[in-house]
Amino acid sequence: MLIQPLLSLVVAGVLTTIKQCSAVAVKSANAEDFAALCGLITLAKANFQIKTEPPDIADSIRSLIAINYTIGDDAIRNDVAADKTKDWAAVSAKHTGTKVYYSKHWEQWSRVENLNPSDAEAKALLVWHKHRNNSEVKQRVRMITETAIALHEAAQQVKEDLKAAGLSDDLERSLYGAPKATATFKFASGNRETECGKGTTATASPGTKAGKALYWDLLCLCAGKNTDTDAGLACCEGCDEAPNNNAWTANTDGKERAEKIAERCPPYLVPEQLTQSLLNSRLLSFLTRANKHKGSGLVEKFVLVRK
């Protein structure tokens, strides 16, 4: 699973307009819209940690390589034994052509050759000496070893993909629309209709900031307005607490307000891992709410709709 394509969905997938109606806020009226938006916000805020690989995986692969080498071709063991104290850089010139693949395993092969006979691993490997002339056993061990190595290498690549460069920056931009340090959330006119959009009670139009950042959508949905300072209550209990306990006014940065409202996102939405299925599920929930017909009774002041 590649992380960058997933993040592009988070950043580009918020195809919404926050439309404004002309009724007063109704407590919890926008709770479902708020939860759908929180589903994406909590994904973007989460600090995903790449789990450390259990040491027994590497130990098992090292043991398989050692066994495969022990019962392998005499010619390979003779080559390694002759230069067992040297690293690959020192012997690579001697092993070209069909032997160039030695480079992949030289470190492990020479490690086995340098084991002290009294070492527990060396004693365990003695059991395998009797299979050196058993072609069936040799083939099976070789296949198991090659498969294990291939799976381990694929897993390592996935881990690198999960740590893809710029991941934290992409997550931050999905929230703020820009680096957090420079992001601002201001509207210039007397109200926020230009940025947040207008519903059918005015000349309907999408907002210029709709879908530009998750925190823009959150502010348009939940921030207090000059005609209704408790609009936050329509999103959640406590969403009207400071600094969202008054109107979000023109030319006033709403960043701190957005961050505080986001803290009210339900804790059960905070994910342990970022997966393709989880992101798809959250986007589906979001777009389902955005496409839901809200009616014309004007019972909600700010609602999510599709552009």
pLDDT per position as a tens digit, 230-275: 667 888 888 988 999 888 888 999 999 999 999 999 999 998 877 7
pTM (2 d.p.): 0.59
Domain boundaries, the chain: 3-49+166-306, 55-162
Spans of the chain, pLDDT less than 50:
1-24, 295-301, 305-307
- Joined together, the tokens standing for residue 201 give 């009670």
- Confidence at residue 227, expressed as pLDDT on a 0 to 100 scale: 55
Q: Could you tell me the two tokens for 178?
A: 């820009």
At residue 307, the pLDDT reads 46
Position 221 scores a pLDDT of 87
Which pLDDT score is estimated for 294? 54
pLDDT at 14: 43
Give the span between the Cα atoms of 36 and 236, in whole angstroms.
12
